[in-house]
Amino acid sequence: MTQKGKSDSGSAGSAVLLAVLLVTLVAATVYVFAARLYPAPPPITSTAVLIDRQYDLTLYVAGVVFVLAQLGLAFAVFRFRDRGQPARFTRGNVAAEIIWTSLTFLAFLGLAIAGRNAWAEVRYASPAPDAIQVEVTTTQFVYTFRYPGADGKFGRLDPSLINAPAGNPLGLDPNDRAGNDDIVVPDLTVPVNRPIELLLRSQDVVHNFFVRELRLQQDSVPGMMIPVNFTSNRTGRFEIVCTQLCGLGHSKMHSFLDVVSESEYEAFLKQQAAGQ
């Protein structure tokens, strides 16, 4: 350890290397994010667009702080490496503390407020009254989707009747007439530009329903019926994945969201009804 007034000749190398690495870190990180080298797939709902905007806003704020802090660190270790100079004695600077604390507080509070809508739209708002309801049942390790059929009513389910090999994966009660026209399928087909309400439930453990393009993710919890809603403004086939660890088949548990035109959706319903 060096005495006051004497310099540590080993400092220059470490200081330079640290500064160079930090600058490289900043450059590489900013490049990857700015060039959007690994983007999420394009959003297909207006809420997803709101979420993306909030993500971008957060990225700018975090990015600015990241750049300033890492470069500040790089500058400080380089500029104040031991070259024989005495250290500048100070216990702190209350004014500076107050200023940067307040700025941080305002920035974070601002972000929290700005993000309110994106959350509220999905979670607080009830779906439109003409929303198409689809029940989503998760089990180890498949998704099963149920439509109420022409009568618009879901039939009664009884866990003791569940028998997937026999063709009754949900435990539909044959004595309940409302269930006779229920459509039970392994993929989710919905019409474009129509509000969809998904009713998430689970038969065994906690699972999850996640579609990247919807920017929508929700756990399905046994013992609960959890509604989420969305309106897709684009047709296409999108992947549904499970993100909540559910057992050894977790990484294999996936399905598809098919957003189709209104006429294709009607055709789908007719075809399913005819097959019953």
Partner 1 sequence: MSSTHAPAGSSRGFIRRYIFSTDHKVVGLQYLFLALAAVTLGIILSLLMRFHLVWPAVHLPFVGGGIMTPEQYLALVTMHGTIMVFFVLTTAPQSAFGNYFLPIQIGAPDMAFPTLNMLSFWLTLAAFLCVIAAFLVPGGAPISGWTAYPPLSGLGEVTGPGEGLGQTLWIVSILIFCFASLLGALNFIATTIDMRAPGMTLMRMPLTVWAWFVTAILSLLAFSVLLAGGILLLLDRSAGTSFFLPAGLVVNGELQSHNGGSPLLWQHLFWFFGHPEVYIAILPGMGVVSHILANFSRKPVFGYRAMAFALCAIGFLGFLVWGHHMFVSGMNPYSGLAFSVLTMSIGVPSAIKTFNWLGTLWGGKIQFQTPMLFAIGFVSFFVTGGLSGIFLAQPAVDTMLHATYYVVGHFHIVMGVAAVFGIFAATYYWFPKMFGRRMDERLGKLHFWLTFVGVYCVFMPMHFVGIEGGIRRYADSTGAGYLAALQPLHSFMTIAAFITASAQLIFFYNFFHSLKRGERAATNPWNATTLEWATSSPPPLNNFGDHFPRVHRGPYEYSVPGEKEDFLPQNLAPEGSGATGSREIPQRAYVTGMAMLLSGILMFFMALVSAYFVRKGFSSDWRPLEVPRVLWVATLILLASSGTLVFSRRDLLARQEDGFRHWWGVTAILGLFFLAAEAIAWRQLTAAGVSLGGNPSGSFFYVFAAAHALHLLGGIAALLVVAFRPTTRLTRGTATEVVSLYWHSMNALWVFLFILLLAGAQS
Q: Which is nearer to partner 1, 113 or 274 (CB)?
A: 113
CB of 39 to partner 1, least distance (A): 7
Show the tokens assigned to 46: 């207006």
CB of 134 to partner 1, least distance (A): 18
CB of 63 to partner 1, least distance (A): 8
What are the backbone angles phi and psi of residue 184, rounded to the nearest 5°?
-115, 115
Residue 156 · residue 135 · CB < 8 Å: no
Give Cα 144 to chain centroid, integer Å: 22
What's the CA gap between 219 and 90, in Å, rounded? 52
CB of 185 to partner 1, least distance (A): 18
Q: Which of 219, 218, 262, 254 is nearest to 238 (CA)?
A: 254
What's the CA gap between 23 and 30, in Å, rounded? 11
Q: Which of 122, 120, 118, 125 is nearest to 58 (CA)?
A: 118
Q: Which is nearer to partner 1, 162 or 269 (CB)?
A: 162
CB of 233 to partner 1, least distance (A): 17
What's the CA gap between 259 and 103, in Å, rounded? 44
For residue 149, the SS3 value is coil
